Structure 1
Amino acid sequence: MSILSTAEIQQDLATIGAALRDVTVVVRGGHPRRSRSPDAQGSGIVWEPGLVVTNAHVATETTLSVELPDRAAVPATLVARDPRRDLAVLRVDPGELGARHTATIGDPDRLRPGELVVALGHPLGVPHSLALGVVHTVGKASWQGERATTPALIHTDIRLAPGNSGGPLADVRGRVLGVNAMIAGGLGVAISATEVRHLLLAAEPRPRLGATLREVTVRVGARGERDERLGLLVMETSAGGTAARAGLVQGDVLLGHAGRPFRSPDDLLALLHDAGPGGTLRLDVGRGGARLSLEVTLGAAVGAERRAA
């Protein structure tokens, strides 16, 4: 294992800070061209071209604006808001963003306690403030069907302040792992980037499977030091729904699709989204020690959850 010198760490942090500043914006209440002094609310991340992700508690106004690093303010439209996850998605004219880069998204499922992370935001009005910290815990979401009852959270020892909310939590390579949200018990709390993916998927019409699912995990390793996900357990199916029509029953385990395993309900949501209404999937299913292959024909799309409660 290589050990970085203090100078190397400082240089890396400076590079990471510059990259994160390019994709971090200020989110304000009010229209930038109609309000003389729009209220500062928090930070946001340019997640995709024309899309800015922030916290739901930041995006509480019906009219919003986004202030770019060059201090230019542009109007933003709220397209999805989920208070349960404390996430919101804003749409900005991509032309207003110019050639601005979008964030590089990391894999929070690979994050481990003890790893270094950085946070960038606008705490107490100080623009683009960078902070370094250590991961304390990496939580997993709790699911009921295709709905997360508890979001996946990342706890760090970074002291967040008002204005940090909605800004990026990133690894030491500058890959965004979560959206900073709050302080709890003296620890900084970020919403996992996995939850953002769920919200973006939920904001588009897609077919539903019609089943209540739960992740199946086992402890593996010489000392049982880590969890390995085996698939998605079918707790129940909706009468007449897609899952029931395909022959899925309580106790089945959805193992994967086309040889690719399901590690979380997020994998299934992405598959349903890609297949679309009327699409056909062949799912690998575990039942009573046997492995089955069931064909599932998807029904009509469910409307977009533009402001999920």
Structure 2
Amino acid sequence: MKPRGLAEADLRRSGFGTGIVLTGDGLVMTNFHVVNGAQEILIRPRGSTVDVPAEIVGMDGATDVALLRAKSGDWKAATLTSSDRVQPGDVVLALGSPFGLEQTVTLGIVSATGRAEIRGLASSLQDFIQTDAAINPGNSGGPLVDGRGRVIGMNTARYGGEGIGLAVPVNLALKVADDLMKGGRVKRGMLGVRLVDVDPQVIAELKLSSAAKGAVVLHVEAGQAADKAGLLPGDVIVSVNGQAVTSRARFLMRMTTLKTGEVVKLAYFRASEQRETEATLMDTPVKLPPATLERELLPGLKVALVDEKLRNKLLLQPSFHALLVLEDYKTPEGVLKLSAGDFILRVNGSSPYPNDGDTPESLMQRLTPKKAVVLLHIQRKNGEEADVGLVVPPGINK
């Protein structure tokens, strides 16, 4: 049985992937690793021979989820159901275009749920459905459906040899997609701790029960939410909002959809005594690497020239030339125009590409606006490109 609304994303640079249509106006969910770095994205609806251009709404590498929007066409949304009810032994179908073979269906069962800490994958936050339905290159981003054709997960990877396929539970994927729709990225609340799993060495050092499970607090960042809630190194977190935590990976998954400002209830052990506390999550700070040359392009708009050193740190292509925005930039009315981490690709049509004889200082001077109105062509952190108009404050560059 095929769910309605499947789409294949034809990526000129990196091949084929598959997507799940969420809405009739063309919102499509797929994997981050399918579209990350793509210069052009074309979506081919099920049963069609016509490719439709699409744009990236937002991406989240931590969960390997991306949200696209088709630029035209009427779409049929897939039928979804809750992934919380999925159990080992359930019959499932994996759909997609493995190796470019369109509309391929494979049959299997759910082998396990809650798979985590699997190395070599794009996602760092993992809570996979494991299936023995065949998942191959080209299936990524496509639906894993139950026996009634309802989407329960998004196919992500084949692990190891044959018979081990992994899918992101649809409930998690939809929560991430909702955040991407609202703001282009997932803003996760920060507790401010470093954790390790309970292992025999930890059990011996902390004198825990041999059956103890949880996430051990290794470090608490001063001034962050955990510090204010009274957590200390050595505490063993065993639940988040009443949901059990059996490992560091499970703790991270419990926290992944919680937002800045939310109050989270934590249960933990300290010296064999169970305690509870509440922590108000804080915003995750943006950490940008130092650059060779930093300057204010406009008053309050702090940028860095992307040079070889910065390209290496940010894993950018050698041919990438831009200005990196170092701090959020708002208008005097408080409207956010640029975010820390955005790239400025052109200033009034001029590229940061160095001319013969340019020094970093002369290049920055050449890019500094001389007109009252400035048009910036930018690439946001989610990969989307946009034009942003700014008005130069009176008196600058006179």
Please confirm whether the aligned pair reaches a TM-score higher than 0.5, indicating the same fold: yes
Shift of 1:179: 1.2
Map of 1:206 onto structure 2? 188
Distance 2:212 2:191 in 1: 20
One-letter amino acid of the counterpart of residue 234, structure 2: G
* CA gap 1:133/1:281 in 2 versus in 1, 3 angstroms: closer
Residues 215, 229 of structure 1: 8 Å contact kept? no
TM superposition score normalised by structure 1: 0.65
Residues 92-147 of structure 1 show CA distances to partners (whole Å, capped at 9, x for unaligned) of 15984545245334138x532x543211112344432222124455562239xxx9
Q: Rg larger in 1 or in 2?
A: 2
- TM-score, normalised to structure 2, is 0.53
Q: How does 1:278-289 map to 2 (within 5 A)?
A: 279-289=262-272
Query: What SS does the aligned partner of 1:166 have?
Result: coil
Contact kept, 8 Å, 2:198 with 2:216, in 1: the verdict is yes
- 1:80 is aligned to 59
Distance 2:78 2:102 in 1: 19
Distance in 2 between residues matched to 1:229 and 1:40, nearest whole Å: 46
Aligned partners of 1:46 and 1:53 also within 8 Å: no
Match of 2:232 among 233, 249, 255: 249
Q: Which residue in the other structure is 2:96 paired with?
A: 121
Match of 2:5 among 4, 7, 23: 23
Secondary structure of 2:283's counterpart equals coil
Q: Which residue of 1 aligns with 2:20?
A: 45
Match of 2:45 among 61, 64, 68: 68
Shift of 1:165: 2.9
1:100 to 61, 74, 77: 77
Q: Partner letter of residue 80 of structure 1?
A: M
SS of 1:184's partner is: coil
Superimposed CA distance per residue, residues 33-54 of structure 1 (whole angstroms, 9 cap, x where no aligned partner): xxxxx99612112357824123
Equivalent pair of 2:140/2:154 in contact (CA under 8 Å): no
Distance 2:240 2:112 in 1: 31
State the one-letter code of the partner of 2:216.
L
Gaps of 5+ in 2: 200-210, 287-340, 342-380, 384-398
Q: Quote the Cα distance in structure 2 between the aligned partners of 1:151 and 1:158.
A: 19
Q: Please identify, of 42-51 and 118-127, the stretch whose mean Cα deviation from structure 2 is larger.
A: 42-51
Helix, strand or coil: the match of 2:80?
Answer: coil
Q: What is the percentage of aligned positions where both structures have the same residue? A: 23
The match for 1:236 among 215, 219, 228 is: 219
Shift of 1:23: 3.4
Q: Is the Cα–Cα contact under 8 Å of residues 107 and 133 in structure 2 kept in the other structure?
A: yes
Q: Which amino acid aligns with 2:59?
A: A
Summarize the Cα distance change of 1:76–1:90 in structure 2 as closer, same or farther, 3 Å threshold.
farther
- Per the alignment, in what secondary structure is the counterpart of residue 189 of structure 2? coil
CA distance in 2, matches of 1:283, 1:159: 39
Q: What number of residue pairs does the alignment pair up?
A: 260
Matches within 5 A, 1:121-270: 121-136=96-111, 140-142=115-117, 149=124, 151-173=126-148, 174-182=150-158, 184-193=160-169, 196=173, 200=177, 203-214=185-196, 231-256=214-239, 260-263=242-245, 264=250, 265-270=252-257
- Greater RCO structure (CA 8 Å; 6+ sep): 1
Q: Distance in 2 between matches of 1:197 and 1:128?
A: 23
Q: Deviation string for 1:153-193 (max 9, x for gaps)?
A: 55544344443232222333434234143363123522332
Aligned equivalents of 2:76 and 2:212: distance in 1?
Answer: 40
CA distance in 2: counterparts of 1:134 and 1:249, whole angstroms: 43
Amino acid at match of 1:69: R
Distance 1:115 1:215, change over 3 A: farther
Is this contact kept in 2: 1:230–1:262, CA < 8 A?
A: no
8 Å CA contact retained: 1:210, 1:242: yes
